[in-house]
Amino acid sequence: MLYARLILSRLAKAVVVLFLIVIFNFFLIQMAPGDPAAILAGEAGATDEEFLRQLRERFGLDQPLHVQLWRYVSGIAMLDFGWSYRQQMPVLDLILARLPATLLLTGTAFVLSLALGIVAGSLAAARVKKPSGSLIMALALVFYATPLFWVALMAVVLFSVYLDWLPAYGMVTVGAGHTGLAMVLDVGKHLILPATTLALFFMAIYTRMTRASMLEASQQDYVKTARAKGLSPGVIQRRHILRNALLPIITLAGLQAGQMVGGAILTETVFAWPGIGRLMYEALMQRDYNLLLGIFFFSAALVIVFNIITDLVYRLADPRIKEGS
Amino acid sequence: MSFFARFAQNRGALIGLIILVAIILMALLAPVLYPESPWRMVQRPFLAPMEVEGFWLGTDTMGRNVAAGLMHGAWVSLLIGLVSTVVALAIGVPLGAVAGYYGGLIDDALMRFTEFFQTIPNFALAIVLVAIMQPSVTSIVLAIALVSWPPVARLVRAEFMSLRHREYVEAARLVGQTNRTIILRQILPNTLSPIIVLASLMVATAILLESALSFLGLGDPNVMSWGYMIGAARTVIRQAWWLSFFPGLAILLTVLALNLVGEGLDDALNPKLARERS
Amino acid sequence: MTATDTTSPGPVLSLRNLTIALPAGADRDHAVEDVSYDVARGEILCVVGESGSGKSMAANAIMGLLPKGVRPVGGRALFDGQDLLSLTEKQHRQLRGLRIGMIFQEPMTALNPLMRVGAQIAEVFEAHGRLNARERQEQALALLTEVGIPQPEKAIRAYPFQLSGGQRQRVMIAMALALEPELLIADEPTTALDVTTQAQILELIRDLQARRDMSVMFITHDFGVVAEVANRVCVMRHGRIVELGDAETVLKHPRHAYTRALIEAIPSDVIPEARGAETDTALLEVTGLNKVFRSRGGLFKPAREVHALRDVSFSLVKGETIGIVGESGSGKSTLGRCIVRLERPDSGHLSLSGTDFMHLTGEALRRERHRVQMIFQDPYASLNPRTRVGMAIAQGPIANGVARGKALARADELLELVGLGGTADRFPHEFSGGQRQRIGIARALALNPELIVADEAVSALDVSIQAQILELLEELKQKLSLSLLFITHDLRVAAQICDRIIVMQHGRIVEQGPARDVFLAPREAYTRELLDAIPGREHELADA
């Protein structure tokens, strides 16, 4: 009951946010220098005047602004994201075809970064002021400061070009025609480099946060109580300190979702991973604004879904939230 | 203990400061050492580092001097990082201050607005903004500022919320100070240290964002930047990895230095006031 | 179980010349220095001292729970023949919880917020490898019943946030006693509690101690509490023992001047004769005041309401001091905040010398604010850390149009008046808590207000400082014929300074009348309950 209510209220909020993004998109197109029809068609320069006239009519660009807005919004409400003139396909189909690859990449990177980050952060917290703890934090800081696309390129140089261990591009071996388990392994092999490079930055964030959060939690009175009971340090670390320290990390993980999507754009571009990030780069190169804005909308929707999930997880983890019931 | 003594106690911060000063010098000396445009073709392409004297980092695919590009790029990175942070502060601080001080409906409205911006994936938003406004230093600065102010607003709001019920602020209300005076004289000065620390980290993040934008080809076509250099050399990475390596290292060092300095500022500015009570 | 051996009357714990070093850079070298005392079997030893006396440090050393950087450098702590200071961490761990139990001051934070109460008690058995999972739960239930938690079957499944402060402290006691330790260390266990809850917890500890014939080391700052529970007393100051002896003797015939000062600092039951008010024109008139706090509900979340004030009426005559007393949640602070208009009452009347003070808003309110000023509770939060104290005092007059130079000169005079002459250009952190409270008083006086509201103005201070501040207020009252509304949870403090007393509970006024009448002949049951709960009341402290 409580969850149903929560999800409902979150969905209501999500609809509002998405609606605002649609309006924002609409005005972006209006703001762009040049003829909106040309922009929607993906033509930056001079185009056939007759073609543009047809476009204007088709999109209703000759109508007053509020009518255009209404048409645009109601179109998207019916899941009509328009037409990509460059790719000669509906924007929605293009995005849906690429979505699974992005979900696979970001999902893997998310789990990887969270797991490694929490482990590394706990270790660093337990070894505070010792060389090993400082080393973990120094590494985390370096990863945090490294441009994602650059690590990706350097990983290609090292692991594909020089060592020739892992494939550098794509999601499957072209022409291999693997099926079943062989395909899964093939995709897995292609996934290693992009997922790891995408995870590094977030791992650094979670490591720093876990350590800070655990050091903070270890100062709390209840830890002194636990010690006064005669509990062993290991039990205190796990049951009392880590459990409490994880709460702010769940919140942070939710906030990082948007960053993850941004990171995916760069990673997919470098590794030619066929997801919506790569699609966004292609749209950018081809000045395919309709597609660009469609992807922008979808990436925001992804973030919202992810936020709702972390919210639910938080509620499971913290009994105090249920107080209202 | 003086402010600098506390700062220097953090050895990392000192190292960061040294790196940062070196990069600032690089930016300042660029027009002196390489007065010519870094876009000019000056030698044959694909010179490896140290191959020809005077080209200690070699030349790129078009025969441009990589060292010159690096030094001119430092200027652009620092400039964009700094200016976009200032713009983000100019949006975030007043918003956060008003929301946190007045609370209630004003706070609700402003925070919904902030949350909206936080939900939008910020790199994607920056891409869309720059792509549609057309790449230029101005559009890049604006796009970065627009995606980076929400954390400022949230921080300032949280600080104001915790301070507005602090007894000295209530005392100021009771003696009849105006809201303006209370915000500017009583509360804001006490929120400066976390804002300064956050700002130093924001410059670092802004530099990363700028480099990622130019890497994707969304840099200002008139200025040389590190991200552009990496992006341009991407296709030849198998033949000439160093073309991507050095600009990336420059970004890494700059961002690292700013983070180290931020941590040092945090150590130097924050602990005393908080611990005084015990 | 190591049953108490009645044939060996040797002490459970003896400290011998214990010295504990503080880290470099602290305000003194040693937290405690050359401290020796015993805790005999079956007795309650109270270790008393003000903040910074080092009274808790020995206890932490005994438990092996000293903060980082603090370490014992000399002496021994003998427990059952073993020197606790020479134990390894592992050996220490085996004693903690099993043979020595400990409870702490802050029940709100001492329990893990994410674990059920039952699981937290069961952990004690688990830590020492006792019983199986089911038996642990049974024991937890038995313990909760023993410490008197209402509905123990429900409480065992509750999370800490669902319990009140007093109930949480009972859970702490249940955990500390789970394995029937020979020694219980209680570190200010009632300081954070309301007076009636405090009385219940004290009774519980006394009761359990007697039933289990356990030894208790009870650390407190409150001589009232000492009078309630102690068999023997150890008074500490600046890390050294000032006086050590039998509770009777120390309380009635303190030998050391410091002990005497501490005991005398406790306001006694001797109520000063009420001074007649100078006039009978009402300065402050409050009629039918109501205030409801609503937590704003969301789209799918119901709003919640707390009635902080219900139909509160009273009036204050010029030159009079009224004390408003009550426990936390009684609405006494809300009343004060409504009167100074930091909060806006929902309905009723509030007038000051005839002018309506309730419906003023915005700029009109700002202009009238100088007429009522406030002295705050927390001396560390009531001054802007970045403002010099002279300026802090002068800000009020400046905001009301007085020239800067004149206002600063006046601030100098006021600092002189509160005993801090010549300190105007210092920053707050250069002052002690008591001194800051004096600055707060000077600030309140700077605008020559008609009425001053003091909200728990001495509660955060050590008793000896408390006495000085109360003295200062008394002196200022005489000199400046102040009208004062004195809000406090401490009835003994109220008795000392107030002409009339208003007792509040759940947002209502329970009883009001002249201080003597309320204290000596309370009409209402709740007032009597409050008075009875004052620790040490029925014991004659020092021949005052």
- Please enumerate in sequence order all residues whose Cβ is within 8 A of that of C200, keeping only pairs 6 or more positions apart, or say none: C166
Segment C309-325 shows an average pLDDT of 93
Please report whether residue A290 resides in a domain. Answer: yes
pLDDT confidence of C542, banded at 50, 70, 90? very low
The residue type of B183 is I
Identify the pLDDT of residue A59: 67
Chain C residues touching A221 at Cβ < 8 A = 104, 106, 109-110
Disruptive mutation site among A129, A213, A225, A321 for chain C (greatest number of C CBs within 10 Å): A225
Rounded to an integer, what distance in angstroms lies between the CA atom of residue B122 and that of residue B146? 9
Query: How many angstroms separate the CA of residue B214 from the nearest CA in chain A?
Result: 11
Task: Answer whether residue C300 shows pLDDT above 60.
Answer: no
Q: Which of B120, B230, B255 sits opposite A21 (nearest CB)?
A: B120
DSSP one-letter code for A324: G
Compute the CA torsion angle C70, C75, C80, C85 (nearest 10 deg).
30
Query: How many angstroms separate the CA of residue C390 from the nearest CA in chain B?
Result: 14
Rounded to an integer, what distance in angstroms lies between the CA atom of residue C175 and that of residue C102? 9
**pLDDT greater at residue A56 or residue A143:** A143
Kindly identify which residue of chain B lies nearest to residue A259, measuring between CA atoms. B121
For chain A, the chains sharing at least 3 beta-carbon pairs closer than 8 angstroms are B, C
- Helix, strand counts (H, E) of chain B: 12, 0
pLDDT confidence of C61, banded at 50, 70, 90? very high
Does C65 contact A244 at a Cβ distance shorter than 8 Å? no
> Do the beta carbons of residue A113 and residue A202 sit within 8 Å?
yes
Segment A245-267 shows an average pLDDT of 89
Chain C residues touching B115 at Cβ < 8 A = none
Rounded to an integer, what distance in angstroms lies between the CA atom of residue A195 and that of residue A204? 14
Query: How many angstroms separate the CA of residue A124 from the nearest CA in chain C?
Result: 18
Does B176 contact C367 at a Cβ distance shorter than 8 Å? yes
Q: What are phi and psi of C509, to 5 degrees?
A: -85, 125
Does A300 contact B134 at a Cβ distance shorter than 8 Å? no
Please report whether residue A293 resides in a domain. Answer: yes
The closest of C336, C406, C386 to C396, measured between CA atoms, is C406
Kindly identify which residue of chain C lies nearest to residue A240, measuring between CA atoms. C112
Query: How many angstroms separate the CA of residue A310 from the nearest CA in chain C?
Result: 18
Identify the pLDDT of residue A36: 66
Does C111 contact A318 at a Cβ distance shorter than 8 Å? no
Identify the pLDDT of residue A325: 34
Task: Answer whether residue C541 shows pLDDT above 60.
Answer: no
Rounded to an integer, what distance in angstroms lies between the CA atom of residue C393 and that of residue C442? 7
- Please enumerate in sequence order all residues whose Cβ is within 8 A of that of B112, keeping only pairs 6 or more positions apart, or say none: none
Kindly identify which residue of chain C lies nearest to residue B174, measuring between CA atoms. C369
pLDDT confidence of B275, banded at 50, 70, 90? very low
Q: Which of A153, A289, A307 sits opposite B234 (nearest CB)?
A: A153
Does B131 contact A259 at a Cβ distance shorter than 8 Å? no
Kindly identify which residue of chain B lies nearest to residue A25, measuring between CA atoms. B128
Please report whether residue A161 resides in a domain. Answer: yes
- Please enumerate in sequence order all residues whose Cβ is within 8 A of that of B104, keeping only pairs 6 or more positions apart, or say none: none
Does A228 contact C95 at a Cβ distance shorter than 8 Å? no
Kindly identify which residue of chain B lies nearest to residue A276, measuring between CA atoms. B124
Chain C residues touching B182 at Cβ < 8 A = none
Which residues 317-356 of C are in CB contact (within 8 Å) with B?
Answer: 340, 342
Angle at C234 between CA C228 and CA C235, to 5 degrees: 95
Burial class (CB in 10 A: 0-12, 13-18, 19+), C296: exposed
CA distances C73 to A77, C23, C33, Å, are 74, 12, 10
Does C109 contact A222 at a Cβ distance shorter than 8 Å? yes
Chain B residues touching C340 at Cβ < 8 A = 174
Please report whether residue A107 resides in a domain. Answer: yes
Identify the pLDDT of residue C48: 93
Segment A66-72 shows an average pLDDT of 82
Kindly identify which residue of chain B lies nearest to residue C381, measuring between CA atoms. B167
Identify the pLDDT of residue B49: 77
Task: Answer whether residue A321 shows pLDDT above 80.
Answer: no
pLDDT confidence of B271, banded at 50, 70, 90? low
Task: Answer whether residue A141 shows pLDDT above 70.
Answer: yes
Identify the pLDDT of residue B60: 76
- Please enumerate in sequence order all residues whose Cβ is within 8 A of that of A181, keeping only pairs 6 or more positions apart, or say none: none
- Cα torsion A269, A271, A272, A275: sign: negative
Rounded to an integer, what distance in angstroms lies between the CA atom of residue A219 and that of residue C492? 35
> Do the beta carbons of residue B65 and residue B120 sit within 8 Å?
no
Chain C residues touching B188 at Cβ < 8 A = none
Does B260 contact A141 at a Cβ distance shorter than 8 Å? yes
> Do the beta carbons of residue A205 and residue A116 sit within 8 Å?
no
Chain C residues touching A244 at Cβ < 8 A = 112-114
Chain C residues touching A222 at Cβ < 8 A = 109-113
pLDDT confidence of C444, banded at 50, 70, 90? very high
State the DSSP string of C256-274. SHHHHHHHHHS--S-PPPP
Does C300 contact A240 at a Cβ distance shorter than 8 Å? no
Task: Answer whether residue B277 shows pLDDT above 50.
Answer: no
The closest of C497, C52, C18, C534 to C327, measured between CA atoms, is C534
Q: Work out whether strand C347-352 and strand C282-295 pair parallel, antiparallel, or are unpaired.
A: antiparallel
Kindly identify which residue of chain C lies nearest to residue B105, measuring between CA atoms. C296
Least confident of A176-180, B126-130, C328-332: A176-180
Identify the pLDDT of residue A43: 57
Sketch out chain B's domains with CATH numbers: 3-277 (1.10.3720.10)
In this complex, how many residue pairs, one in chain B and one in chain C, have their CB atoms less than 8 Å apart? 66
pLDDT exceeding 90 applies to what percent of chain C? 62
Does B166 contact C447 at a Cβ distance shorter than 8 Å? no
Please check whether residue B278 touches A, CB under 8 A. Answer: no
Mean pLDDT, all residues of chain B? 88
Give the structural domain span for A285: 92-324
pLDDT confidence of A312, banded at 50, 70, 90? confident
Does C159 contact A324 at a Cβ distance shorter than 8 Å? no
Please check whether residue C96 touches A, CB under 8 A. Answer: yes
Give the H/E segment covering residue C453: strand C451-455
The closest of B277, B123, B270 to B208, measured between CA atoms, is B123
Mean pLDDT, all residues of chain A? 86
pLDDT digits (tens, 9 = 90+) for C461-515: 888 888 899 999 999 988 888 899 999 998 888 888 899 999 999 999 999 999 8
Chain C residues touching A226 at Cβ < 8 A = 112, 123
Query: How many angstroms separate the CA of residue B180 from the nearest CA in chain A?
Result: 33
Alpha carbon B198 to chain centroid distance?
10
Least confident of C15-19, C33-37, C364-368, C535-539: C535-539
Chain B residues touching C443 at Cβ < 8 A = 171, 175
Identify the pLDDT of residue C277: 53
In this complex, how many residue pairs, one in chain A and one in chain B, have their CB atoms less than 8 Å apart? 130
Does C376 contact B273 at a Cβ distance shorter than 8 Å? no
Query: How many angstroms separate the CA of residue C202 from the nearest CA in chain A?
Result: 20
- Reading phi first (left if > 0) and then psi (alpha if -120 to 50, else beta), residue B54 is in left
Identify the pLDDT of residue B38: 79
Please check whether residue C366 touches B, CB under 8 A. Answer: yes
Segment B172-201 shows an average pLDDT of 93
Mean pLDDT, all residues of chain C? 89
pLDDT digits (tens, 9 = 90+) for B10-28: 888 999 999 999 999 988 9
Q: Which of C342, C380, C387 sits opposite B170 (nearest CB)?
A: C342
In this complex, how many residue pairs, one in chain A and one in chain C, have their CB atoms less than 8 Å apart? 88
Sketch out chain C's domains with CATH numbers: 111-178 (no CATH), 282-353+450-543 (3.40.50.300)
Identify the pLDDT of residue A286: 82
Query: How many angstroms separate the CA of residue B116 from the nearest CA in chain A?
Result: 6
Please report whether residue A26 resides in a domain. Answer: no
Does C112 contact A225 at a Cβ distance shorter than 8 Å? yes
Task: Answer whether residue C12 shows pLDDT above 60.
Answer: yes
For chain B, the chains sharing at least 3 beta-carbon pairs closer than 8 angstroms are A, C
> Do the beta carbons of residue C15 and residue C84 sit within 8 Å?
no
Task: Answer whether residue C540 shows pLDDT above 60.
Answer: no
Does A141 contact B241 at a Cβ distance shorter than 8 Å? no
Beta strand segments in C296-423, E: 304-317, 321-325, 347-352, 355-356, 372-375
Least confident of A138-152, B54-68, C153-167, C191-205: B54-68
Full 3-state SS string of C12-52: CEEEEEEEEECCCCCCCCEEEEEEEEEECCCCEEEEECCCC
Does B277 contact C380 at a Cβ distance shorter than 8 Å? yes
> Do the beta carbons of residue C431 and residue C387 sit within 8 Å?
no
Chain A residues touching B255 at Cβ < 8 A = 145-147
Number of folded domains in chain A? 1
Q: Which residues of C135-148 are buried (b: 16+ CB within 10 A; e: fewer)?
A: ebbebbbebbebbb
Does C65 contact A227 at a Cβ distance shorter than 8 Å? yes
Disruptive mutation site among B1, B164, B173, B175 for chain C (greatest number of C CBs within 10 Å): B175
Does C384 contact B181 at a Cβ distance shorter than 8 Å? no
Calculate Rg over the CA atoms of chain A: 24
Residue A169 sits in a domain whose CATH number is 1.10.3720.10
pLDDT confidence of C5, banded at 50, 70, 90? very low
